Every structure is written in structure tokens, then in C-alpha cells.
Amino acid sequence: MTKLSVNINKIATLRNARGGDRPNVVQAAKDCERFGAQGITVHPRPDERHIRYQDVYDLKSIVTTEFNIEGNPTPDFLKLVKEVKPEQVTLVPDAPDAITSNAGWDTIKHKDFLTNIISEMKSLGIRTSIFVDPAESMIEGAAIVGTDRVELYTEDYARQYHTNREAALAPYVKAAAKAQEYGIGLNAGHDLDLDNLKYLKDNVPGLLEVSIGHALICDALYYGLENTIQLYLRQLK
């Protein structure tokens, strides 16, 4: 079964909109795990507009499943990761002012940069994943830099899903096959939801984990958090 890691950034966004501590991010993470989530993902950004760096420190002591920290590997971010030592770090090349992640790494252009960071993370016992577009050349580059996993950026798939899902999925299937060829683990994330998740899971070989936040939290407004997590888990069976 493909694992579900719940991204709780939007919980923090709601808290920050009003100040104070409602909803409580730590309690939300505990509840997500209690309701069946197999991982917790956070993506702190420099302006701390949702998850704050202090949240990450607070969460480390209570997350009992897999803790996945995503982000652009700036010096401050890398310091945070080295101190928290999550089970997984996902390196994402997002600009400081990006609303959300919008592209994967050029693993060829940034080969030396990624190689050095990944080597350091591995020396600390932290599994590394890098955010990539579904291109075979980027998977080949990922193998060269030594990453443990790649996370396929699935926005293009989600955008085209209701128009032509077979065509939308095709590059992801090829990328997954290339990852398996090189022995790289496979994650996926971005704009996955209850409509498009099962088709991706059923047709992309070797999919180990999906990270889902925005759609899942939106669905929870209507279905409740516990029921929503169970609905997503059913899509992954």
C-alpha cells in the first residue's frame, strides 16, 4: 500500500490568520496519525506564513510515524533539518515568494549543489528525496546526485486528469520506470485529491508515498478530518 503523508501547512495557515493557537498544529498532527496517516509533512518557508520553524521543533517530539520536512535548502532550512533530523527531507526549489511549489529541480544543472547537500543529509541518517518534474532526464540526473527518492511533481497530471487522464499520466509512468531502473524510491505530490489519486496509484509502478495537504484539508471541512483521511487511505489500497 502506498503511504499517505498528510501535509499540515494549511492547518498552520488557518492558525496564523487569526493569531493565537487555534487550531493547534501539534494536536492536528497527533490527530492525523490517530486517524490513520502514515506520515506528517511540513513545508516551512522563510516568511513563516504557515508552518513556523518552531512548529517543526515542536512536532519532532510528538510525530510517531514518518516526519517529512520539505523546503528549499537554504542555510536556515538546512540548519533546521540537521537539528531536527526527520526521517525524510524533501528538497524543493521554490522561490521565497512562491505561493506554492511550481517546478522540480533541474538535476543536471544543479548536480554539484544537490550532490553536496544529499551527501551531508545521508551522513546524518536522513533519507533524501528531491522534487522533480516527470522527465526521464531528470530522473537520470537524480541518480547521479545520489538521492534516495524522488517526489514527482503532479500538478500537470492533476490539471489534465479530467481531459485525458491516460495522456496526463504517461510521462509519470515513464519517469517511474526510469526511477525503478536506477533503484530510486518514488514519492509523488501536488494537487492530488479524491478524484485523481486512485488512478495515479493504480498505474504508476513502485509508488511508495504521496504527500497531500491542500485538497485533504479542504475536504475535511465537509467530511471531517478523520473521515477524510480514511477516504484518502481507501484510494491508496
For residue 96, what pLDDT is reported?
A: 62
Range of the domain at 169: 3-235
Does 123 score more than 60 pLDDT?
Answer: yes
For residue 95, what pLDDT is reported?
A: 67
Is 133 flagged in the annotation as binding? no
Assign 198 a pLDDT band (cuts: 50, 70, 90): very high
pLDDT digits (tens, 9 = 90+) for 150-187: 999 999 999 999 999 999 999 999 999 999 999 999 99
And the C-alpha cell for 150? 524522488
| Helices (H), ranges, 35-100 | 53-60, 75-84
Is 165 flagged in the annotation as binding? no
Assign 99 a pLDDT band (cuts: 50, 70, 90): low
Quick one: average pLDDT of 67-86?
A: 97
Is 7 flagged in the annotation as binding? yes
For residue 102, what pLDDT is reported?
A: 64
Whether 194 contacts 222, CB under 8 Å: no
Catalytic, 70? Answer: yes
Is 191 flagged in the annotation as binding? yes
CATH of the domain at 138: 3.20.20.70
The share of the chain scoring above pLDDT 70, in percent, equals: 97
Distances 231 to 19, 53, 219 between C-alpha atoms, Å: 31, 30, 10
Q: Which of 33, 151, 190, 209 is catalytic?
A: 190
pTM (2 decimals)?
0.95
Q: Which of 33, 66, 70, 209 is catalytic?
A: 70
Catalytic, 43? Answer: yes
Q: Which of 43, 66, 151, 209 is catalytic?
A: 43
Is 110 flagged in the annotation as binding? no
CA distance 150 to 92: 11
**Strands 39-42, 127-132: parallel, antiparallel or unpaired by DSSP?**
unpaired
Q: Which residues contact 37 (CB under 8 A, 6 or more apart)?
A: 4, 5, 6, 65, 229
Query: How many structural domains are present in the chain?
Result: 1
Assign 94 a pLDDT band (cuts: 50, 70, 90): confident
Catalytic, 181? Answer: no
For residue 103, what pLDDT is reported?
A: 78
8-state DSSP, 22: S
